[in-house]
Amino acid sequence: MKCHECGKQMEKIDRRTEMVELESSEDVTEGQFADYLAAQESGDFGEWAQGVVEYLCHSCGVTVELASDHLADYDALIRNWHAKTKQGDYLSKYVFEYLAFMAFLKSYIAIGSATERAAIQTLKCNEQAKRKYLTLIGNDSELRKVLSSLIRELKREPLHNSSKDYDYPEIDNWWNSSGINPDLKSKRKKGAIHSLRDWGNIVEFWYGIRNNLFHGGKDPSVVHDQFLVEHAFKTLSQFVKILLNEP
């Protein structure tokens, strides 16, 4: 969407559902007014709901809110992708879980991100998500076991990105980076998760596996690849459960 003041591209900064405001109680029947108050009290807006998408122009500071009677609800889609992880091998489980993960991320956490990479970098900087996941790691012995095994494997053989060149895959520069650009000055080993609290590289690992899978760079018959995909699913699925408030 272009800014009407300066003509530059605006960024989507919010996407929400609100209640329609009644201009006057005289415009509705007593039954409708009672239904409105009940919806307001319960938080289930029902027929009184309207979708709002908000945009911001970083150049001139203009904000625009667009209201719609119907705003696409991605919750059902996210939960359907997540439900598909209940069956199949780890490769298919991971693909479905990643789709649920990214749909949630771009709908609720990284709303204005134009690319998956931008959304991933936004998640790395999200302190609430980081705190919840690290707390889960501290409380869940099985997750710690899975993650510790993954850390050892990546230390032995770092994750390479084979999506660009199957014959000579390289390690992405985005490891150890939480900003909008890769940290090329970092001395830490790339392609690895350095500790149970290395949130940024855990997220980078999920994205790296996604790249290799979606671009055909993982072989389900290779033991090392099987290991990485299995551990990618087991670690990501726990985060998706947090997002969906599942026990």
Q: Torsions phi, psi of 154, nearest 5? A: -70, -30
147 pLDDT band, cuts 50/70/90, is very high
- Average pLDDT, integer, range 67-87: 84
- pLDDT at 50 (0 to 100): 72
**Over the chain, what is the mean pLDDT?**
87
d(CA 75, CA 166): 36
d(CA 132, CA 137): 9
**What ranges make up the beta strands (E) of the chain?**
11-19, 49-56, 63-68
Q: Residue 55's CB: how many other CB atoms inside 10 A?
A: 19
Question: Does residue 217 surpass a pLDDT of 60?
Answer: no
- pLDDT at 20 (0 to 100): 72
CA trace torsion 148, 151, 153, 154 (10° rounding): 170
189 pLDDT band, cuts 50/70/90, is very high
Question: Does residue 145 surpass a pLDDT of 90?
Answer: yes
Lowest mean pLDDT among 46-60, 73-87, 150-164: 46-60
Q: What pLDDT, in 10s, does the model give residues 110-141? A: 988 889 999 999 999 999 999 999 999 999 99
Helix (H, G, I), strand (E, B) or coil at 97: helix
- Average pLDDT, integer, range 208-231: 80
Question: Does residue 25 surpass a pLDDT of 60?
Answer: no
- pLDDT at 80 (0 to 100): 95
- Average pLDDT, integer, range 198-219: 87
Q: What pTM does this model have? A: 0.77
Degrees to nearest 5, angle at CA 111 with 109 and 115: 105
- pLDDT at 165 (0 to 100): 64
- pLDDT at 218 (0 to 100): 58
- pLDDT at 139 (0 to 100): 98
- pLDDT at 47 (0 to 100): 67
- pLDDT at 21 (0 to 100): 73
Lowest mean pLDDT among 88-92, 160-164, 171-175: 160-164
- pLDDT at 121 (0 to 100): 97
Question: Does residue 247 surpass a pLDDT of 90?
Answer: no
- Average pLDDT, integer, range 13-24: 69
- Average pLDDT, integer, range 182-194: 94
- What is the radius of gyration, based on Cα positions, of the chain? 22
